[in-house]
Amino acid sequence: MQQITGKKILVTGVTGWVAGPLAESLATQGNTVYGAARFKDPAQRQPWHDKGVQTVSIDLEKGKLDEVPSDLDLVLHFAVAKSSNFDEAFASNAHGSADLLEVAANQSDKLSFFHCSSTAVYEPKHGEARKETDLLGDSHRPMPGMPTYSISKIAGEVLVKHTAKRLGVPTVIARLNVPYGDAYGWMSFHLMMMERNIPVPVHVDQPTTYTPIHADDINRSIPYLLSYANTGAEIVNWGGDQLVSIEDWCEEMGRLTGIVPTFNPTTATIASIVPDLQKLHDAGFHSSVDWREGIRRQISTMRPELLKN
C-alpha cells in the first residue's frame, strides 16, 4: 500500500516511545509534520526541528490546544498520561483525546483521526486471541504503577468514538499490543532486570504471550489501519504476526548476551493478551521484522557492549 506523503500531519506524544520514530519517518516521506507534547522545557524542541518535525505544545489534561495547526489532513494521536490518579488520567486520555479531535476538526474540513488505543482494554483470557468485539476489562490493574491505564484507555475510545460520530470525522481506533524498536521497548527493562539478577515478572498463567510489533512495521502499518477510518470510528487490533512471550524474549536476550534470565511467576503483573489480527491482515498488512532480529537490533543499538559477538 502507498505510504503517506504530501500530507499535513499532527503526531501527538512525539517525545514518547512510539510516536517519536513515527514522526521522524513521516517527515522523511515528504509530509509536513508537527510533533506535539507538553514541551515544558523549550530545549526539548530543537532536536525535533533538526529532524524536520515542527513542534507544538499541547496539554491534554489542561485542555491547552491553542497551538494545534489548522487545515490538517491527519492527526495521529499517541499521547498518553500514565497517572495513578483517575481524574488526571481521564482528563488526559479521555476528555483530552476528544477535545483534540474536536479542535482539529473545527479547523479542517479534510481531517482524518487516528487514535492509538491499546490491547490493555481487553479482559485477558489465558492467551486466547481477542477479537475487537471481545470482552473489555481492567488488564493492567495488577501491574504496579498502572492502576488507571486500562480504564482510561477504554474511556478514551468511548469519547473519541462519540466525538467522531457527532462531528462526522473519519476515525480509526487502533488497539496496539507490544510496540518496540531499535531504541525502546518493554524488553529493554527486562534486560536491565536480568543484568541485576532480578527475576522478571511473568504471569502465573504462563506463557505470558503477546504479538510484539517493531517500529519499522508500526510505521508501515499506519496506511493499512487508516483504510478502516470511518465516521463510526472503526476499532482494529494492531500487532506483529508472531506470537512471542516475555519468557521467549528474555531467553533470546540471554542467548545474545550470556546473561541467564530468571522468572518470577506472579499475579501482580499483566496477563498474556493476544490480539486477533484478522482485520489488520484483511487490509493487506503483515509484519516484516522477525522478532529475534528485532531484539538483536535493539540490543545492538541500546546496549551493544552486552552482545556476545
Ligand X SMILES: NC(=O)c1ccc[n+]([C@@H]2O[C@H](COP(=O)([O-])OP(=O)(O)OC[C@H]3O[C@@H](n4cnc5c(N)ncnc54)[C@H](OP(=O)(O)O)[C@@H]3O)[C@@H](O)[C@H]2O)c1
| Contact call for residues 16 and 38 (beta carbons, < 8 A) | no
Candidate ranges 13-21, 65-73, 198-206, 278-286; the one touching ligand X (CB under 6 A): 13-21
Asked if 159 is part of the footprint of ligand X (rule: CB under 6 A), the reply reads no
Contacts with ligand X by CB under 6 A: the residue count is 26
Binding mask 175-214 for ligand X (x = CB under 6 A): -x-xx------x----------------------------
Nearer CB in complex with ligand X: 37/244: 37
116 near ligand X, judged by CB under 6 A: yes
Choice from 24, 61, 217, 252 touching ligand X (CB under 6 A): 61
**Residue 59 interacts with ligand X (CB under 6 A)?**
yes
Whole-angstrom distance, CA of residue 247 vs CA of residue 200: 9
Look up residue 134 and give its three cell numbers: 471481545
With beta carbons less than 8 A apart as the criterion, state whether 197 and 254 touch. Answer: no
Region binding ligand X by CB under 6 A among candidate stretches 14-22, 198-206, 258-266, 292-300? 14-22
Whether the CA torsion 142, 145, 151, 154 is positive or negative: it is negative
37 binds ligand X (CB under 6 A): yes
Rounded CA separation 72/149 (Å): 29
Q: How many beta carbons lie within 10 A of that of residue 227, not counting itself?
A: 16
Q: Report the run of H or E that residue 278 belongs to, with start and end.
A: helix 278-282
Amino acid at 150: S
Please report, as ranges, the residues that interact with ligand X according to CB under 6 A: 13-19, 37-38, 58-61, 78-82, 92, 116, 118, 153, 176, 178-179, 186
